[in-house]
Amino acid sequence: MPNWIIEKKKIKKFSKTINVSGDKSISIRWVLLASLAKGMSKAQNLLLSEDVLGAIKAIKKLGIKVKFKKNYCIINGQGINGYNFKKNVVINAQNSATLGRLLLGLLVNTNKQIKIIGDRSLSKRDFSRVTEPLKRFGAKIKTYNKLLPVKILGRKILKPITYFEKKGSAQCKSAVMFAALRTPGITKIKAKKSRDHTERMFKSLKLPIKLKSTKYYDFINIRGISEYDSFDYKIPGDISSSAFFIVLTALSENSELLIKNVNINPSRLGIITILKKMGVKIYFRNIKTYKGEKNADIKIKGPKKLKAIRCPKNLNSGAIDEFLIIFLVAAKAKGVSYFSNLSELNQKESPRLIWGEKILNKMGIKTFSTKDSIKIYGNPDLKINKKIIIKNFLKDHRVFMTSVVAALSFGGIWKIYDKESISSSFPNFLKIINKFKN
Ligand code: S3P
């Protein structure tokens, strides 16, 4: 089987209903938190992608039993001090920074050494952003030039910290929140706004957490505990996976799409706000609250015209995983779009600001970029007639999926490498894409 695909046909107008797979952030958090709960936790619609299966492999190495039934995943937690493993265990976080970073938070008081490694992409990413605050709890941690592998040897005696998270990174915030749970006393966090699934899961578990919010910051106090109960979860669809189909629709005049039961946590809605400002019609239907998270069906209609945007910086965090795909909408919009303060984008699975620009330039779109911003000169009449090759992108799943959407929306002959990259977040992406071809 080749590891590349060829796309050479633009899709026609469509009207469809789809389901996307479970939310990745919620799936990983459920696996990690269930592993320290007391008793059996069950999840339905858990995302079965490499990142989440990596989390399951990790907790199995730590001595936790996991079973898969037809529609469920069952984790048999042994309580907050229930990990049981040999000395010098090596855990491979594979491609997932969320897994690597959050797991470190849970391991602050391990009494045997654990080494965390990752794949080529993860091994280029900064881990000091979590190891530095975790060291302040008292955990003994060794890093190499801020990168993986990280060796952690926790401490029995931990002390709570006061932590200021300045990047707007939910991974940093959550790693500290997990460590706080295992640390006697009250840990105090001031965090630049970012996705808040961990806070909502803590609350729904009735863990001792206090929250206050201002426009730009969240204030979180967490008291360490010695036990909490197991918990079941029905994982909603992932808005970051939905994003590819939302944009496929936004780029197809008069097409319509309904995506069923997607998580619409306000801290993840950057793409919706941005696309609405650009002229896309998007509605939420059937809104329901489940365990403190809002979920809904999302209805999208492809507009006649798209407007350029000067993207407000306060939308960056809520759209952090969606900029590559949003750039395609800017490519077709009338006028010059501008996105700024995006240095975090180059800290992802690949340097995504650079890759976003590369894809646009290959498509024939003019851009102007700095280290942390990009201007995109939109062309509403864009039609591609040439061959485009996308490769060597560190197997970044979102580069792959964005390229597929570009090919189906703008035409041209695209050869896109590393199709197995989708397995980290959205293994059935190409199957769903096929439903749009006819
Ligand atoms: C995630 C947080 C974000 C996001 C990542 C998932 C999470 O990363 O890009 O895909 O589940 O907490 P940062 O927190 O590093 O911005």
pLDDT tens figures, 161-188: 999 999 999 999 999 999 999 999 999 9
What confidence tens digit (pLDDT) does each residue in 40-52 have? 999 999 999 999 9
Active-site positions read 321
Q: CB within 8 A of 5, min separation 6: which ones? A: 404, 415, 416, 419, 430
Kindly state whether residues 279 and 384 are assigned to the same domain.
Answer: yes
Which CATH number covers residue 9? Answer: 3.65.10.10
Report the separation in Å between the CA atom of 380 and the middle of ligand 1, taken as the mean of its atom positions. Answer: 32
Q: Is residue 289 part of a domain?
A: yes
Domain boundary among 222, 245, 262: 222
Kindly state whether residues 288 and 366 are assigned to the same domain.
Answer: yes
Q: Is residue 231 part of a domain?
A: no
- The tokens describing 210, both together, are 């206090």
Helix (H) or strand (E) segment spanning residue 26: helix 24-36
Atom 4 of ligand 1, nearest CA residue = 321
Please state the atom number of ligand 1 nearest to the C-alpha of residue 240: 10
Kindly state whether residues 348 and 396 are assigned to the same domain.
Answer: yes
User: What is the strand order of the sheet 89-92 is part of?
Assistant: 89-92, 114-117, 147-153, 140-144
Give me the DSSP letters along 205-265.
Answer: TT-SEEEEE-SSEEEEEEE--S--B---EEPPBPHHHHHHHHHHHHTSTT-EEEEEEEE--
Q: Is residue 388 part of a domain?
A: yes
Distance CA 76, CA 67 (A): 8
What confidence tens digit (pLDDT) does each residue in 393-419 have? 999 999 999 999 999 999 999 999 999
For β-strands 38-44 and 233-234, DSSP reports them as: parallel
pLDDT of 152 higher than 80: yes
Kindly state whether residues 265 and 252 are assigned to the same domain.
Answer: yes
What confidence tens digit (pLDDT) does each residue in 37-89 have? 999 999 999 999 999 999 999 999 999 999 999 889 999 999 999 999 998 99
Please state the atom number of ligand 1 nearest to the C-alpha of residue 168: 16
Kindly state whether residues 82 and 214 are assigned to the same domain.
Answer: yes
Kindly state whether residues 188 and 277 are assigned to the same domain.
Answer: no
Q: Is residue 154 part of a domain?
A: yes
Distance CA 99, CA 83 (A): 17
Kindly state whether residues 17 and 53 are assigned to the same domain.
Answer: no
Q: What is the SS3 assignment for 352?
A: helix
Q: Is residue 313 part of a domain?
A: yes
Kindly state whether residues 198 and 247 are assigned to the same domain.
Answer: no
User: What is the strand order of the sheet 65-68 is part of?
Assistant: 65-68, 72-78, 38-44, 233-234
Kindly state whether residues 179 and 256 are assigned to the same domain.
Answer: no
Q: Is residue 358 part of a domain?
A: yes
CB atoms within 10 A of CB 396: 21
What pLDDT shows up at residue 46?
A: 98
Domain with 265 in it: 4-22+236-436
pLDDT of 157 higher than 90: no
pLDDT of 147 higher than 90: yes
Distance CA 376, CA 364 (A): 11
What pLDDT shows up at residue 2?
A: 87
Query: 27: Cβ below 6 Å to ligand 1?
Result: no
Domain boundary among 155, 190, 222: 222
Q: CB within 8 A of 68, min separation 6: which ones? A: 74
Q: Is residue 144 part of a domain?
A: yes
> How many domains is the chain built from?
2
Residue 438: band (very low, low, confident or very high) from pLDDT cuts 50, 70, 90: confident
Kindly state whether residues 36 and 18 are assigned to the same domain.
Answer: no
pLDDT of 253 higher than 90: yes
- The tokens describing 97, both together, are 């920074």
Atom 13 of ligand 1, nearest CA residue = 169
Helix (H) or strand (E) segment spanning residue 284: strand 281-290
Domain boundary among 175, 191, 222: 222
Kindly state whether residues 293 and 425 are assigned to the same domain.
Answer: yes
CB atoms within 10 A of CB 12: 10
Distance CA 393, CA 403 (A): 11
Q: Is residue 227 part of a domain?
A: no
| 74 and 67 Cβ atoms separated by less than 8 Å | yes
| 141 and 152 Cβ atoms separated by less than 8 Å | yes
Please state the atom number of ligand 1 nearest to the C-alpha of residue 317: 16
Report the separation in Å between the CA atom of 313 and the middle of ligand 1, taken as the mean of its atom positions. Answer: 17
Kindly state whether residues 17 and 45 are assigned to the same domain.
Answer: no
Q: What is the CA radius of gyration of the chain?
A: 21
Residue 154: band (very low, low, confident or very high) from pLDDT cuts 50, 70, 90: confident
